[in-house]
Amino acid sequence: YGPNSLANNDPQQVKAADGGFTSYQERVDARKVRARSGSFLDHFSQAKLFFNSQSAAEQNHIIDALSFELGKVKSVAIRQRMLGILSMIDDGLAAAVAYALGLKVPKTPEQPINHSIPADGDPADFQPTIVEGKLAKSAALSMENTVKDNIKTRKIAILVADGVDASSVNTVKAAIIAAGGVVEVIAPKLGDVIAADDSKIAVEESFLTAASVFYDAVYVPGGTNSVATLEAEANAVHFLNEAFRHCKAIAADEQAMQVIEATYFSKKLPEDFSDDSVLKEGVVIGSDAGQLAKQFIKAIAQHRFWDREKPRQVPA
């Protein structure tokens, strides 16, 4: 957009004399009409395609979102009307939302379905048309089909405090960056943290300015004092709990088990952290930073670990 002082107003508009776009001026003799194409009355085929293309976990997210939003609507009549509209998309979707709202799906949607009618319009001319799409599903519409062979552009948080083990931080950070990921160091405060070897590690964000929802994965390095500080930092524990709840990859140095044990998911940890276990559970804990980094990168590439949502009763 412009004006854009940070980028010297680039890209700049090109003058017509230099080959820039310009409208061709021509005389037009026609009738001006304000109307929409009949295709605008197809209100449901795209919604059907989108919902049917989602994985089970993604469909649950949509159901939860609709249940939340409609649960905030105080008028039961409007909730009921919306359930009728949802039934035009998918009966299972409507039934699941109706259960959360304590209502029943109406046998037929309230008529007229479309209430957006011009003052002089005939309501019958503005009702939705039922169009059967050419596709039943499209893999491109589901995050489940995200590329899982690299971590390019993925954003990873490293949680640290004074006394952190600089070696493990640097090893894991370098491996992630080399694989195309983006790393941000998060600490209780901005500035620098002083590592156990007295080196300084720059902090990009504090727990006041960052949240797990901004990241694709999180790593907790070792270091006795750092671990003790993070365990006592409620924001750090919440950061990890939320990342787990959102099915993201989590890694921790063996020395950082004290922090992991402060989370609600510590009792859900797998019995071992073999390659197969890491790819299934999305959690890796180890003492060898180099080996941990390799496993962590493979876990990040999986994007999310939806099996964590099966109980659907874990705190946010």
Q: What integer pLDDT is reported at residue 45 of this predicted model?
A: 92
Share of the chain above pLDDT 90, in %: 66
**What pairing do the DSSP bridges indicate for beta strands 155-159 and 217-220?**
parallel
Please check whether residue 65 is in contact with residue 86, taking contact to mean a CB–CB distance below 8 angstroms: no
Residue range 38-57, pLDDT digits in tens: 888 888 999 999 999 998 88
Could you name the CATH architecture of 39-118? Answer: Up-down Bundle (1.20)
Beta strand ranges found along the chain (DSSP E): 155-159, 182-187, 191-194, 200-203, 205-206, 217-220, 249-253, 283-286
Q: How far is CA 30 from the centre of its chain?
A: 48
Question: What pLDDT does 316 receive?
Answer: 47
pLDDT at res. 22: 87
pTM over 0.85: no
| Measured CA distances, 113 to 78, 87, 93, 110, 288 (Å) | 12, 12, 18, 6, 61
Q: Please state whether the peptide bond connecting residue 118 to the residue before it is cis, i.e. omega within 30 degrees of 0.
A: no
Sites in the chain below the pLDDT cut of 70? 1-3, 311-316
Superfamily classification of domain 149-309: Class I glutamine amidotransferase (GATase) domain (3.40.50.880)
3-class SS of residue 168: helix
CB 187 within 8 A of CB 200: no
Euclidean distance between CA atoms 214 and 94, whole angstroms: 31
The answer to whether 177 touches 166, Cβ cutoff 8 Å, is no
pLDDT of residue 3: 66
**In this predicted structure, what is the pLDDT of residue 272?**
86
Sketch the domain layout of the chain as residue ranges.
Answer: 39-118, 149-309
pLDDT for residue 314: 46
DSSP 15: P
pLDDT at 29 (0 to 100): 87
Cis, bond preceding 123 (omega within 30 deg of 0): no
pLDDT in tens, 49-104: 999 999 888 999 999 999 999 999 999 999 999 999 999 999 999 999 999 999 99
